[in-house]
Structure 1
Amino acid sequence: MASNPIKLSLIFILTIFITSEAELGQLKETNMTLYFQDWSGGPNATVLQITGHQDHGPLSFAKFGSVFVTDDPITEAFDKNSPEIARAQGIYVTSALDGKISHVLISIIFTNEEHNGSTLEIQGASPQFERVREVAIVGGTGKFRLARGYATFETIHFDLAIHHVVIQCNITILHY
């Protein structure tokens, strides 16, 4: 008799899982490459330091406790004049005492026709001075509903004179 309630519970849970899968559709994998156009100075800066701000000189990326807010345009190609397809909006905090790790919280908000209004949510520890940094994709909305996966960031262009950095972001996600 004791096994009947357990069997019924398992059948009930399996039924819910199958019903949920049928409602959501088939799990898909999407891979894409995006380019964050990061401007850390000048009148049109897209990243600002919130704490530990210095009035003169470069931003303090390696100073423990520094907090930054960002609203970077994301383009479909390396060139800053290529079409904008999304915005990277969020915060990151230098969270390691030695300044080598940033904690990243970024929403990629798509503005292009194909994915307009859909989002991807990125979160994780990013070893900011490594050539390639990997963080988790922990969710998404719209065409990327229930997304999970990872993103890699690689700085591929750095022009200190005009405060411009291009970060290549490679994304692999599973979603419905």
Structure 2
Amino acid sequence: MARILPKSGSPFVIFSVVFFFIAVAVAGKPNSFSRSLSQKKIGLKKEKLSHFRLYWHDIISGPNPTGVIVVGPPSNTSVTGFGLTRMIDNPLTMGPKMSSKLVGRAQGFYASAAQQELGLLMAMNFAFIEGKYNGSTITILGRNPVFSTVREMPVIGGSGLFRFARGYVQAKTHTLDLKTGDATVEYNVFVMHY
């Protein structure tokens, strides 16, 4: 009977053959923690652009404020309140009056992030409670220089009908009570989603 492997090199040859098959097997498999998906198979249809006009009511006065300070500014702070952080659960309505139809809540926080002007870091979800968008959210994260006429912030994502959302919002102050600090802000949301 003929020998297939020479006696002198057999451990090296066997190791090489085994290593080759392991390398082929590993290289042929996708990563165990990721895989490519078809958009259609997970229910993503054609991407569309939607526009929403909402009114954001920041009520920081009275017995039931919708925005509360969670971190106060240090005592040596600037006139802008640099460092102040406020948690919010603000109503989103269809019109500028609080009596307008409630369509959602703006939940998150804003913080005074500028020393020379009133500039806020905004991080919030627009959580919808009305119509086909009930249970869906749009996530906004960005800089809000409060005294600019129109402020633009990015939409960085969402959930529900806004999965894979991207876009921007434009905020424009509708009313501001300088005594109480309460404000109503018009938000125009331009969002790409499936």
Correspondence 1:32 to 2:38: no
Q: Which has the higher contact order (CA 8 A, sep 6+)?
A: 1
1:129 maps to 147
**Would the aligned equivalents of 1:64 and 1:99 in 2 still touch at CA under 8 Å?**
no
Bigger fraction of residues in strand: 1
1:51 maps to 71
Cα deviation 1:24-45 (Å, max 9, x = unaligned): 1100100010001221111011
TM-score (norm 1): 0.80
Aligned residue for 2:133, secondary structure, equals coil
C-alpha separation in 1, matches of 2:88 and 2:157: 19
Give the alignment of 1:132-147 within 5 angstroms. 132-147=150-165
**Would the aligned equivalents of 2:80 and 2:115 in 1 still touch at CA under 8 Å?**
no
Q: What's the CA shift for 1:171? A: 0.5
Q: What's the CA shift for 1:92? A: 1.0
Cα deviation 1:86-107 (Å, max 9, x = unaligned): 0001011111222432111001
Cα deviation 1:49-69 (Å, max 9, x = unaligned): 22227xxxxxx9821111111
TM-score (norm 2): 0.73
The structure with the larger Rg is 2
Specify every segment of 5 or more residues in structure 2 that has no aligned partner in the other structure, as ranges.
1-35
Cα deviation 1:111-144 (Å, max 9, x = unaligned): 1123110000000111122111110000011111
C-alpha separation in 2, matches of 1:51 and 1:172: 31
**Would the aligned equivalents of 1:61 and 1:94 in 2 still touch at CA under 8 Å?**
no
* Aligned pairs, number: 155
State percent identity of aligned pairs.
32
The 3 A distance-change label for structure 1 pair 69 and 61 is farther
Cα deviation 1:6-30 (Å, max 9, x = unaligned): xxxxxxxxxx57x326641100100
1:3 maps to none
CA RMSD of aligned residues (A): 2.1
Q: What's the CA shift for 1:83? A: 1.0
* Greater CA drift, 22-31 or 73-82: 22-31
2:118 maps to 100
1:164 maps to 182
AA aligned to 1:120 is I
1:20 maps to 39
Specify every segment of 5 or more residues in structure 1 that has no aligned partner in the other structure, as ranges.
1-15, 54-59
1:120 maps to 138
The 3 A distance-change label for structure 1 pair 86 and 135 is same
